[in-house]
Amino acid sequence: MLKSTPRELQLARPASRDTFEPTAIDKLDGALAVADEPAAEPGPELRALFNPFSAGAEQFRVLRSRLSLHMGAPAAGHGQVVAVVGAERGVGRSFVAANLAVSMAQRGGRVLLVDADLRHPRLHRLFGLRAADGLASMLDGRADYRSVRAVASLPALHLLTAGAPPAHPLELVERPEFALVMRQLRLRFSHIVLDTTAACDGPDAAIVAGNADAALLVVQRHRSSMSALHRLQQALHLAGTAVVGAVDNAH
């Protein structure tokens, strides 16, 4: 499933070393994963979790290792962020993001999976949760980091759902609060995986990925359009985020 595309493979730009400035939004040390909300209950799409000896799970371990080779080890207090992007709807971004995060969490460290697809969020369903509070509510100032849930049966993995669908999703991810939230989360997690909106739905994915160290492209052979992929690659380039690999998600 994993297809490295050597011409596109390049090291991610160096992670930003901005120091974190405490603000009103930072009122949560120790609050992560201790919310009253129920823990996320992973469902059957999480192959890497339920069928760890399957070929599919092995492919996610290979993907995880190749990403590590490209990105190196995260610096202490500065978690690495990878955005899972794709040009069209339904190519499997959420599936890949969720299984990759599971695979990372199985290796150890603190891993966070974020549903940053505020237009068509789906990760809450993969993990058996209501949309409820999540990223959109945090960016709107209606929720805080207690929206991050632990995942039952895999304590290293945490999930931040998209939250209630906002009226203006693009505007929300463009807000400076998004970059601020990401800086905060980097302090608390060693690896963060961002699920994103299909690029055909707007520039949201490139803006979200602009806060990541690297982008992983999900494509489907015989379906993904090369011109759409090139447009997405250009948008990512403008956002300053390198595409470090592509997954040919044939299924």
Return residues touching ligand ATP (CB under 6 A). 45, 86, 89-95, 117, 120, 122, 198, 249, 251
Q: Nearest distance from residue 30's CB to Mg ion, in Å?
A: 31
Phi, psi of 75 (to 5 degrees): -75, 150
Closer of 86 and 245 to ligand ATP (Cβ)? 86
Q: Which residues are CB-neighbours of 41 under 8 A, at least 6 positions away?
A: 127, 128, 129, 152
Name which of residues 84 to 103 contact Mg ion (CB under 5 A).
93-94
Q: Which does 80 bind (CB under 5 to 8 A by kind): ligand ATP, Mg ion, none?
A: none
Name which of residues 111 to 130 contact Mg ion (CB under 5 A).
122
Residue 249 binds Mg ion (CB under 5 A): no
| Amino acid in position 177 | E
Q: Nearest distance from residue 44's CB to ligand ATP, in Å?
A: 9
> How far is the C-alpha of 226 from the C-alpha of 187, rounded, in Å?
37
Q: Which does 91 bind (CB under 5 to 8 A by kind): Mg ion, ligand ATP, none?
A: ligand ATP
Q: Nearest distance from residue 76's CB to Mg ion, in Å?
A: 32
Contact 149, 176 (CB under 8 A): no
Q: Which residues are CB-neighbours of 242 under 8 A, at least 6 positions away?
A: 10, 11, 12, 13, 214, 215, 236
Binding site for Mg ion (CB under 5 A): 93-94, 122
